[in-house]
Amino acid sequence: MKKTILVLLISIVAISMAATFSLTGCKDVSEEVVAEEVEEAVEEAVEEDMNEPDPWIQEKRDLEKPYITGEVRFTGVEGEVPVYDLDLILTKAQVAEIQSMGLKGAYIDNNTAGEYSLAIVGGARDTFEYLNIEMVAETSADFDPTKQASDVETVMALDPDLIIGYPVDPTSATAVFQPVVDAGIPLVCVSNRPKDYEIGKDFVGISTNNPYDNAYAIVEIMVEQLPEDAVVGIATYDDEYFVLNVMDQAFRDGVADLAPGWTVIEQGFIDWQGVGEIATAMVIKDPEIEAFYSTWFDPAMVAVQDLKAIERGDIKVYTFGMNTPAIIDLLDPDGMVKGLTSDFTWNVGMNSAIMAVYGILGIEAPEMVVVPTTNVTADNVLEVWDMSYRNVPVPSEIEDALAAIGE
């Protein structure tokens, strides 16, 4: 539209110039001069237009802007400096170039179960589709490094041009994704960085959320709902997993900054399915516990289930991320979940795809790209779901829960 208007304006000016020259008796000269000037102006206008950010990508970026309220407050395991994704764009010309190349891409995931994982994959898939990149494979390792290694083998046989990988863990990822590195295929990693890999050499970079803000914002919610001397139980992830480790540390930092009067009772876990037992053991030993935090929604909802079983449904539960059980409990006036935060999950997938395209185009990408955080409430759950989980339909159970409270 901008280009069309500009060309029309140039044409009008050109006609005016031609008329002026004609009136002065310089018709032949003026037509030649005007034609050349018009051609040059149109070429400049077209070139300028094609160097503008692609509107499809820019629209996704614009949604995030109101939620970016400060600087990124963490660094990567190797000192990577994370940046928000607002400047991770492709121009119209770059999009046209990629669309003409007939590329093939693949997504090698650690697990695709649940709405959160589906949203990340969906962001990558939708972006590949827009860029005319054929998605030749989407794999799920079920958190098994051996299976992920097999998945890489299978994908490599399909001769992809670019790959997004979500490593099961940093240690196993080094060997698992080595065939991709050896083949010189642009690789973008989601969240976990393979040990000993060099950004810009072995892989393009890391796409993830903002784990620090995800958890710090939870403390901000809790401070509004709990007394200054609250006793809080927390179950934190006790193994190496970058974003989870950052979230748990951010929660501790938030308590130190905002709620120094709280008594915090902490227990680590590795198997999230056992967090219910951890939570009940905490509460039996320290019955004054009135609130409970765990790193993300899966362990938190196991804790909800087991705490209800021992008739401690009075305990307020807080965590990161949206899944159907967590949202339903949040919407229930008698539910235990009293605070959730979310990221722009679909955008993590889109960012991964764009970073991989940077690798194709030979553009240096940021070391680590993140998306912002927002709180989830009964009033905004559909809005946040639409922004965060774009390609995942709202489950009917959530719609029913909203209807039950008149939302």
What are 347-382's pLDDT values in tens digits? 999 999 999 999 999 999 999 999 999 999 999 999
What are 88-135's pLDDT values in tens digits? 999 999 999 999 999 999 999 998 889 999 999 999 999 999 999 999
- Stretch among 32-46, 60-74, 114-128 having the lowest mean pLDDT: 32-46
Distance CA 147, CA 108 (A): 11
Residue 46: per-residue pLDDT:
58
Distance CA 1, CA 334 (A): 52
Residue 21 predicted with pLDDT over 50? no
Same domain, 303 and 318: yes
Same domain, 130 and 270: no
Same domain, 398 and 295: yes
What are 215-258's pLDDT values in tens digits? 999 999 999 999 999 999 999 999 989 999 999 999 999 999 99
Same domain, 259 and 295: yes
Same domain, 103 and 189: yes
pLDDT class for 19, splitting at 50, 70, 90? very low
Distance CA 73, CA 54 (A): 29
57 within some domain: no
The mean pLDDT value for 262-286 works out to: 97
What are 381-397's pLDDT values in tens digits? 999 999 999 999 999 99
The DSSP result for 370-404, as a single string, is E--EEEE-TTTHHHHHHHHSTTSPPPHHHHHHHHH
Same domain, 230 and 182: no
Same domain, 97 and 148: yes
* Residue whose C-alpha is closest to residue 397's, from 313, 330, 314: 330
CATH number at residue 227: 3.40.50.2300
Distance CA 101, CA 379 (A): 44
Distance CA 393, CA 386 (A): 8
* Residue whose C-alpha is closest to residue 212's, from 252, 250, 179, 239: 250
Same domain, 109 and 19: no
109 within some domain: yes
Same domain, 234 and 200: no
Residues in the chain, overall count: 407
**How many structural domains are present in the chain?**
3
58 within some domain: no
19 within some domain: yes
Say what the pTM is: 0.88
Residue 112: per-residue pLDDT:
86
Report CA 392 to chain centroid distance, whole Å: 14
* Residue whose C-alpha is closest to residue 335's, from 377, 296, 299, 374: 377
Residue 160 predicted with pLDDT over 50? yes
Same domain, 37 and 154: no
256 within some domain: yes
92 within some domain: yes
Q: State the residue range of the domain holding 292.
A: 211-343+377-404
